[in-house]
Structure 1
Amino acid sequence: MATTQDVNRQKRLAKKKIKREEKNQRVIYLDKAQSEKLIKESLEAVGKFPIHQCLIPQGLFANGFGTAIIARQINDEEVIVAGFMLDVYCMGVRNAFLRALEISEYTRTIGRMHEHENFGLAEPSLVLALVEQCAEYADQLGFKPHEEYEEARHIFGAIDPKECTETFNFGKDGKPHFVAGPNDAPKRCQRIIERLTEKLGADGFTYKLRKDA
């Protein structure tokens, strides 16, 4: 049988545990200079701020291209934003960035992008699962994500992609489908097609080039 001393000790330990958890969950807001320093020197902290907004384009798999956005609020005036330009048909994460923006600037930027991408709100776990699986699909084809991908993905923090119940079908009509983008020069397109041919055979993929590619 537990004594009064044991019960009191357990209560004290429980209170200490609660205080530790509250400390770990406390949000520390930063000014602009601190937020810029945070990105440069302490990427691990980026994913601990509260979610401000998560967005994905509604027609992503119909169009093949689109930008997934996740923003975390670091103070009353700023957010840290990560963007992932996705090619869900073939090339994976074509572009990625991590930036600190004023909320007003972020809102204007999303407004301009919305004119072309028709964003919709999404759960954080869905955005993470989509981005990671898109990168994995392209990696299987021999294409690595954008050079800033690893930095930008710090924004996901402790988000669990297993909480996403959606399934994604990458490629087009059951095959990888390379679509030349505006920055894909003719020589680059040729190398991509050669790599896909070597990996999948001439009939294992489809492609669409620009008229000047």
Structure 2
Amino acid sequence: MAKSEQQKQKKLAKQKAKEQRKKKELARQQQMMASMAGKMRAAATGTIKDCMISGNLLMQNPTTPAIGHVMLSRIAPGSQIATAFFLVDLGCMGVKDVAGNYRTLTEYSDVITDMQSRQMLQPCEPEFARGVVEAAIAYAESCGLQPHPDYSKYAPLWHNIEPASVGDAISFGMDGKPTYIAGPYDDMGRQTQIYNRMLNTLGEGNFEFAMATSGAQNFDDFELDEEIELDEESSIVRLDSAE
């Protein structure tokens, strides 16, 4: 085979190999974007757009366990906005729920405008936001409780954000004790499971627990203005107290 023909074949082989690598990378990206965890990983190195926190989480010595939201957003592939909302319960549950998705810039702007008009969230540093979330998780773990199982899907959005020490900026539990107050839709099975875990970890008399008798709570995407309150018709059973 002539030298020029050999060079031509080598060039064609290199082009074919390059095309195959591109196809594999495209397939990898498509597979990644098929799951929420993959979407958040894909956006993990994007520029941070906004970070906000509910003022409820910053109240000192609250009369009821503090619960509120932490939001982080980044620029995602395709010029979309990747957003994660963490429902944080400082009473004992840590990250009680989590939601988020990709949004167009227009959709995202509408959501932020709506939230700000109702003064639901206030801007904060990403390092502080992560510090609050991780401190809440650590407190929950000390009570025998784990963060919501979907937390790991959204956690990649914290990439390269070092958690700041929150110090005395937030208050855990109520009156010095871990405190659980059931939401109106927490079913009895879930409440019983939480109670048993806290009892086994903390011991009788070392936590507060108010059990409701109705429903199961769903944290729907971006429906973040609803406070976690007990239904007026729910009956509350005090299972453990400070006495």
Q: TM-score, normalised by structure 2?
A: 0.64
Q: State the 1:208 CA deviation.
A: 2.6
CA contact (8 A) 1:47 1:154 kept: yes
Matched residues in 1 for 2:133 and 2:86: separation? 7
Q: Report the residue type matching 1:135 in the other structure.
A: I
Q: State the 1:209 CA deviation.
A: 3.1
Matched residues in 2 for 1:184 and 1:113: separation? 25
**Which of 43, 47, 50 is the equivalent residue of 2:47?**
50
How many residue pairs match? The answer is 181
Matched residues in 2 for 1:53 and 1:128: separation? 13
Taking a change above 3 Å as real, the CA distance of residues 101 and 177 of structure 1, as seen in their structure-2 partners, is: same
Q: Name whichever of 69-78 and 149-158 sits farther off.
A: 69-78
SS for the counterpart of 1:93 is: strand
Q: State the 1:131 CA deviation.
A: 0.7
**Which of 181, 194, 197 is the equivalent residue of 2:196?**
194
Matched residues in 1 for 2:54 and 2:192: separation? 29
Q: State the 1:192 CA deviation.
A: 2.0
Tell me the residue number matched to 1:150. 152
Matched residues in 1 for 2:79 and 2:31: separation? 13
CA contact (8 A) 1:177 1:205 kept: yes
Q: Within 5 A, what are the aligned runs for 1:93-108?
A: 93-108=95-110
Residue by residue, what CA displacement relative to the aligned partner does 1:125-154 show, whole Å, maximum 9, x if unpaired?
A: 001111111111111211111111112110
| Structure 2 runs not aligned, ≥5 long | 1-29, 213-233, 237-243
SS for the counterpart of 2:132 is: helix
Identity %: 26
**Which of 83, 88, 91 is the equivalent residue of 1:89?**
91
Taking a change above 3 Å as real, the CA distance of residues 117 and 186 of structure 1, as seen in their structure-2 partners, is: farther
Tell me the residue number matched to 1:5. none
Q: TM-score, normalised by structure 1?
A: 0.72
CA contact (8 A) 2:42 2:76 kept: no
Taking a change above 3 Å as real, the CA distance of residues 146 and 113 of structure 1, as seen in their structure-2 partners, is: farther
Q: State the 1:185 CA deviation.
A: 1.1
Matched residues in 2 for 1:197 and 1:174: separation? 17
Q: Report the residue type matching 2:50 in the other structure.
A: Q
Tell me the residue number matched to 1:66. 68
Q: State the 1:157 CA deviation.
A: 0.8
Matched residues in 2 for 1:167 and 1:192: separation? 26
Q: Report the residue type matching 1:106 in the other structure.
A: Y
Please identify which structure carries the higher helix content.
Answer: 1
**Which of 121, 124, 138 is the equivalent residue of 1:122?**
124
Tell me the residue number matched to 1:3. none
Tell me the residue number matched to 1:22. none
Tell me the residue number matched to 1:20. none
Matched residues in 2 for 1:196 and 1:40: separation? 29
**Which of 190, 208, 222 is the equivalent residue of 1:206?**
208
SS for the counterpart of 2:68 is: strand
Matched residues in 1 for 2:201 and 2:104: separation? 44
